[in-house]
Amino acid sequence: MYPLHSFTITRMSPGQRKALLAGVDGDGRLPDAVVPARVLKSIPEAWACTDAKTGSRFLTPQGRAALLPMDRYLHLRRANPETGAVYGLNDQRDRQGLHRDGLVIFQNQDGQVAGPADYWAINAYPYITERGRKLVGMPPTAPLFASRLPVGSRALWVREGEPPMPVEVKSWPFSDGMVRVRPLISNGPGYRENEAPAVEILPF
């Protein structure tokens, strides 16, 4: 079970989507200088809260959630933070949707870029973009945590009241303080890849 906030597939207008994605680019602030006032007014407060002093709108976790269905969000969340590679993106609608919103790019080893429908022709692969990283809270560069526990290293997941669990580190810590891990001891469905608080992941 991924300890993420609730995600819902929500209908929104193209203008609203464009404004919220611009908020992702702007580190949360919607660019009111370029977004029409009528579009800003149409965005629910739950998606973009209004600052009482400045009147500026700021993207909320619910606003981020409204942009993506859960499966697309998890595709981005599971991307390799070092290479940016996005794994298991097999559904054509997911490829098109993530590419349309500028969250992934299809590129081959020679740097050639393709679209979500013809990427296979040049042996391209999906990679998370800067916007995609910002949306899911993935750091753009390796944090201090990665120098102690790089991706692929072994660690211990230490929880209060539980025996230490050997795990493999699968990501850098996200902005919400979580890190992806895969238990090294298989013991039923509860031991699949999961997310854990970074403070609970210690050197093996």
The CATH number given to 144-203 is 2.30.30
Spatial CA neighbour of 2 closest among 164, 192, 201: 192
HSE-up (13 A, CA, CB side) for residue 160: 2
Cα dihedral 189→192→198→204 (10° resolution): 100
Residue 105 bridge partners (DSSP): 127
Residues 55 and 148: their CA atoms lie apart, in Å, by 42
Pick the closest to residue 137 from 167, 172, 107 (CA basis).
Answer: 172
48 phi, psi to nearest 5 deg: -145, 105
Neighbours of 190 (CB within 10 A): 8
Task: Name the residue type at position 190.
Answer: G
| Sequence ranges of the chain with CATH classification 2.30.30 | 144-203
pLDDT digits 0-9 by tens, 120-164 = 889 999 999 999 999 999 999 999 999 999 999 999 999 999 999
CA dist 57 and 63 (Å) reads: 11
Q: Which of 50, 78, 48, 73 is nearest to 62 (CA)?
A: 48
Q: pLDDT (tens digit, 9 = 90+) per residue, 158-202?
A: 999 999 999 999 999 999 999 999 999 765 445 678 999 999 999
For the full predicted model, state whether its pTM sits above 0.95: no
> What's the whole-number mean pLDDT along residues 32-42?
89
pLDDT in tens, 45-86: 999 999 999 889 999 989 988 999 999 999 999 999 999 999
